[in-house]
Structure 1
Amino acid sequence: MRKIGRKTLAFALASGVAVLASGCTSIKDHRGYLIDQTLVDSVQPGIDNRMSVEKTLGRPTFVSQFGEQDWYYISQQVKTPPFLRPRTKEQTILRVRFDAAGNVQAVDKRGMEQVAHISPEGDKTPTLGRDRGLLEDLFGNIGAVGAAGMGGGTGPTGPGPNGS
């Protein structure tokens, strides 16, 4: 059997470390609309309408449901470190506002400055009311709700769950 030289062993070790380290890099991903600034600049307030905007920019990511019918195009750059949750690194929201006749009124562009960062409060949802224990949760309704068929014999009074 042949002995492995120090250089060969060092090369194999360095190669193994390089392969393992390459698996620990973050994954970069683009989500949503790909914004082309030339196309966005070609949309002119007072000149374009909904049809021309759709032909130029495509269908919006979503349309506002309340108030005026604004169109939104959302673009995100997301980075996912190994073994962690994805994080938004860059976000652009393009809003196209229309007047009552359907003509472009304005085109607004927003970035990460409008993103609200919230932190949930642990793994429990705070609720109003009293704080109940385990036994009270398990047995709290005993006696509070009557069993079907155990009443006065005439059946329930008033409308049922479907209004009949």
Structure 2
Amino acid sequence: MATNRSEKTVSVLKIAAFAALTPMLLAGCTSIKDRRGYVMDQALTTAITPGLDNRQSVEGTLGQPSFASQFGDPVYYYVSSTTEQRVFGQPEIEGHEVLKVAFDAAGNVSSVTTAGMDDVRDINPDGDKTPTLGRDRGFLEDLFGNIGAVGAGGMGGGVGGGTNGS
């Protein structure tokens, strides 16, 4: 009778341990969602009116842009991305939104447009090595290339004969 009771106790403890550990193990398999960049507020973005607002009012309403154009008419870009990362995986973009506020030469808002995931283009960077200017050298040539060049004539560091009268 005692062994039957101890077997039941062990069985109940195993079930309790399994029930306690299962949620913790499953919690480790959940994905991590992250918002990056500017957090879009629909009320604020619709408040920007072409012809009425200028750079100062846009910065006062939306804050500093994620980045601004460097050439041509001034354009402010407010970029927002939502990513999801699964355990041991790379983050994947779930949502991407860009608010583009263009200004005329006087600094007044000329247009406000938005772009989403449909406008995102995937690029595949070339995985080859970037060529460098000059001679292509191997590891050993880089390692031993300066042997003998140190202290060579015309490199300075010699004794006497300097222009300072020594």
Fold match (TM-score > 0.5): yes
1:79 matched residue in structure 2: 84
Could you report, residue by residue, the CA deviation over 1:41-91 in whole angstroms, capped at 9, with x for unpaired residues? Answer: 222211221222223323322222333221111111021222233332211
Matched, 1:118 2:149: no
Aligned partner of 2:62 among 32, 52, 57? 57
1:25 aligns with 2:26: no
Q: Which runs of 5+ in 1 are unaligned?
A: 156-164
Give RMSD over aligned pairs. Answer: 2.9
Q: 1:120 to 1:18 in 2, by over 3 A?
A: farther
Cα separation, 1, equivalents of 2:101 and 2:30: 37
Where do 1:87-98 residues align within 5 Å? 87-98=92-103
TM-score between the two structures when normalised by the length of structure 1: 0.74
Aligned residue number for residue 156 of structure 2: 148
- Could you say which structure has the higher helix fraction? 2
Identity of aligned residues (%): 45
Q: Deviations over 1:68-124 (max 9, x none)?
A: 2211111110212222333322111111000011110111212233344334627xx
Name stretches of at least 5 consecutive residues in structure 2 with no aligned partner.
Answer: none
Runs of at least 4 residues off by over 4 Å: 128-131
Give the structure-2-normalised TM-score.
Answer: 0.73
